[in-house]
Amino acid sequence: MKKEFQMVATAAAGLEALVGRELRDLGMECQVENGKVHFQGKQEELMKANLWLRTADRVKLVLGQFPAKTFEELYQGVFAIDWQDYLPLGVQFPVSKARCVRSKLHNEPSVQAITKKAVVRKMQKVYARPDGVPLPESGPVFSIEVSIRKDQVTIMLDTSGDSLFKRGYRTDKGGAPLKENMAAALVNLSNWFPDKPLLDPTCGSGTIVIEAAMKALNIAPGLRRSFAFESWPWIDQELWRQLKETALAAQQDDVELSIMASDIDGRMVELARENAKRAGVLSYITFKQMRLQDFQTNLINGVVISNPPYGERLMDDEGVSRLYQEMGETFAPLRTWSKFILTSDGQFEEKYGSLADKKRKLYNGTLRVDYYQYYGERVRRSDSGSQA
């Protein structure tokens, strides 16, 4: 079986650089591209990327890349891959995804079918199975993916299984939750550090504050879930056990955090609490049922990260306008606090009452959103007692 792998960590548009930074922090060289980050490594890197990446979607092995404008070229390119280096006899190997962009080959179901046929034929050849007799497919799953972009084919194997945003701590999601990797990205894109107060005043199911606490406590995001690669016969189970054990030992519990989360809806606060409990961070977050308009504090140098209702699903336009205006009025006195607000509302700044220092274009699923960033005035702790 293969020892060295070409890999990609996929990411939502706008988050690739964050994934690249995370990989480098894990000690891996990488190259950032649109929607993905390329890196190389052995089983250890494959495992670590799945276990530790907070902002990525998935980790995939890249098995082959070649040009193809016809089905024959696609077939030959797929057949040429050393499938026996990855797929033992008896495993399931669905071609679960095909994506064709600006290419001669654009019929995705046909691309899937041809790819499957080429893999089957190659497996029959290398494992000396007669043509026409179906290969046994009942064991672990190796999901094959085909991407064709401008006639360049990339053949990949998904190692993650469920997308990496599924950490396993959130069961009931409530209203309009952020994906966990998006919430982690909002934290990474903010200027919050664990020594500063953090508030999410529209916490919903609690994703932002839970991700912040997990990061501060160095809790590996993948510790509570399983991955597709775990069932693969050639995976070094002892190495995987050691990496999880190391991750568990690296968790910190003696960090003092000042993290607050509130929501107008008491049921959401309860749900957020349950999620935080499952994530192992409940005792680090203060949850409260509260209107954001009622927030007051004497703390300084804090950070607000909020994903308020946008209007699309949760609130009418008038309600949203009023909420944003009241948000601006409530936060204005918090001079030393930075505010980071994610919304799809193009008129947010007008309604909020001030122009953002910086705006970052992101996608919440398929919805185009902006991350409005207002930086707090810098004040040394000794210079100021109370404010607000």
Which residues of the chain form contacts with ligand SAM (CB under 6 A)?
174-178, 183, 201-202, 204-205, 207-208, 263-265, 268, 291-293, 307-309, 323
Q: How far is the CB of 212 from ligand SAM (least distance, A)?
A: 12
Contact call for residues 189 and 340 (beta carbons, < 8 A):
yes
Q: How far is the CB of 307 from ligand SAM (least distance, A)?
A: 4
Q: How far is the CB of 205 from ligand SAM (least distance, A)?
A: 3
Q: How far is the CB of 306 from ligand SAM (least distance, A)?
A: 8
Decide whether 119 or 198 has the Cβ nearer to ligand SAM.
198
Tokens of 100: 């064709």
Q: How far is the CB of 356 from ligand SAM (least distance, A)?
A: 19
Decide whether 140 or 175 has the Cβ nearer to ligand SAM.
175
Decide whether 123 or 292 has the Cβ nearer to ligand SAM.
292
Tokens of 202: 């529209």
Decide whether 309 or 328 has the Cβ nearer to ligand SAM.
309
Decide whether 367 or 379 has the Cβ nearer to ligand SAM.
367
Decide whether 145 or 263 has the Cβ nearer to ligand SAM.
263
Instruction: Report the residue closest to ligand SAM, judged by CB.
Output: 204
Q: How far is the CB of 208 from ligand SAM (least distance, A)?
A: 6
Q: How far is the CB of 51 from ligand SAM (least distance, A)?
A: 23
Cα dist from 8 to 73, 112, 159, whole Å: 24, 20, 10
Decide whether 3 or 313 has the Cβ nearer to ligand SAM.
313
